[in-house]
Structure 1
Amino acid sequence: MAEQLRSEQFMQQALDSWGGAVYRLALSHTRCAADAQDIAQDAFLSLLKSTVLFNDDEHVKAWLLHVTTNRCREYHRSAWKRKVDTMDNLEPLADRAVGDSALDELTEHPVWTALAQLPEKLREVVHLHYIEGCPTDSIAKILDVHPATVRTRLFRARKQLRDVLDPEPRATREKKGVSRETQSF
């Protein structure tokens, strides 16, 4: 029996609407443009072959982000990732060869560097909440966790980011009169 694939129009709309979000999420997880492209392509191939009936556009977006997260986790657990030396020092050269100045600008930003220091569980909730604009309930469904877990991870991630981006001890900031409410974080 032949597989029933989704229509070209449906796939084009999904790619136009959420291709960037899927790629950014994969890039946030893998920290490598080539691996992120592979994972994004795999997520859209899964959508093409999927028989899931979607309720609305938000359902498609949540499904794609969920599949992308799972593919990223599979990537990190794979034997390839564990056993192959990736030559991380050559990766920036490969990215620059593509000539994508926006990608270069993103990876050189201090927030990108700070996000790289977060554990994966914290980094993914920060990305989904602040970059993709997903509410905590949606993130909980995407990651298969409780909404309270998402809120806790966001709290911990913000604290760690604050400490990384502003290494001055909190007590010193408070003595100088910079309270938490006045910080532009």
Structure 2
Amino acid sequence: MTDQLRSEQFMKHALGTLAGSVYRLALAHLRNAADAQDVVQDVFLSLLKSTVEFHDDEHMKAWLLHVTANRCREYHRSAWRRRVESTDDVASFAESAVCDPGLEALFEHPVWAALAHLPEKLRIVVHLHDVEGYSNEAIADILGILPATVRTRLHRGRKQLRENLGANEQAAIITTKQKGANHEPQPFR
């Protein structure tokens, strides 16, 4: 039995339109650019070998994000992960990543740093809802949890995010006042 692979045109379209979403979710999950790139590569290899028929790009995106979440969970449980100590931390995302200027600007933004400090379960739900724009029901399908759990995690994640941003804003105000500057921190755009 021969394995059917998807066409080159199909894969170019998928990579061109959806690779950023897959990478952002993997990065939000793993908090390490190199590991996220490995997961993205694995996810698109799964797509290449998959026989799933997609109705549209949204269906394919949901499938890819579901596979990404599963691959990230598998990575966390892997023997490799348990035996290897990572030298990357939350603050060094941008330094270790080879990415476009838009992602570098994202890494430097205080909202991204505050999001990175959330516990994984909360961070993923907030990311899928507020960054990727998925509904609670779609997130529940992607992660394999109940919609009520999604709502709870979203509420808790946003609350912690506000607290983290409030603490960061207060620190920024204190730092700028100590330096003699009279400007407020820039809002997220």
| Common fold by TM > 0.5 | yes
2:34 and 2:97 in contact (8 A); partners too = no
1:115 and 1:123 in contact (8 A); partners too = yes
After TM superposition, the structure 1 = structure 2 runs for residues 108-123 of structure 1, keeping only pairs within 5 Å, are 108-123=108-123
* Unaligned residue ranges in structure 2 (runs of 5+): 169-187
After TM superposition, the structure 1 = structure 2 runs for residues 36-51 of structure 1, keeping only pairs within 5 Å, are 36-51=36-51
1:96 and 1:104 in contact (8 A); partners too = no
* Mapped partners of 2:125, 2:97: distance in 1: 31
Query: TM-score, normalization: structure 2?
Result: 0.80
Letter of the aligned partner of 2:79 in structure 1?
Answer: A
Mapped pair 1:106 → 2:109 = no
Aligned positions, number: 168
Letter of the aligned partner of 2:152 in structure 1?
Answer: T
SS in 2 for 1:166: helix
Going from structure 1 to structure 2, the CA distance change for 1:146 and 1:123 (only over 3 Å counts) comes to: same
Deviation (angstroms), 1:33: 1.3
Deviation (angstroms), 1:139: 0.8
Deviation (angstroms), 1:88: 2.4
After TM superposition, the structure 1 = structure 2 runs for residues 82-97 of structure 1, keeping only pairs within 5 Å, are 82-88=82-88, 92=92, 95=95
Query: TM-score, normalization: structure 1?
Result: 0.82
Going from structure 1 to structure 2, the CA distance change for 1:88 and 1:163 (only over 3 Å counts) comes to: same
SS in 2 for 1:141: helix
SS in 2 for 1:86: coil
Deviation (angstroms), 1:39: 0.5
Letter of the aligned partner of 1:4 in structure 2?
Answer: Q
Q: Which residue of 1 aligns with 2:144?
A: 144
Deviation (angstroms), 1:94: 8.3
1:126 and 1:154 in contact (8 A); partners too = yes
Going from structure 1 to structure 2, the CA distance change for 1:150 and 1:82 (only over 3 Å counts) comes to: same
Q: Which residue of 2 aligns with 1:34?
A: 34
Q: Which residue of 2 aligns with 1:57?
A: 57
Q: Which residue of 2 aligns with 1:73?
A: 73
Letter of the aligned partner of 2:77 in structure 1?
Answer: R
SS in 1 for 2:4: coil
Letter of the aligned partner of 1:81 in structure 2?
Answer: R
* Mapped partners of 1:142, 1:97: distance in 2: 26
Q: Which residue of 1 aligns with 2:129?
A: 129
Deviation (angstroms), 1:96: 5.6
Percent of aligned positions that are identical: 65
Q: Which residue of 2 aligns with 1:15?
A: 15
SS in 2 for 1:52: coil
Summarize deviations over 1:117-151 as a string: whole Å, max 9, x none.
21111100111111111111111110111212111
* Mapped partners of 2:121, 2:93: distance in 1: 28
Going from structure 1 to structure 2, the CA distance change for 1:87 and 1:167 (only over 3 Å counts) comes to: closer
Deviation (angstroms), 1:66: 0.2
* Mapped partners of 2:65, 2:21: distance in 1: 8
After superposition, the CA RMSD in angstroms is 2.4
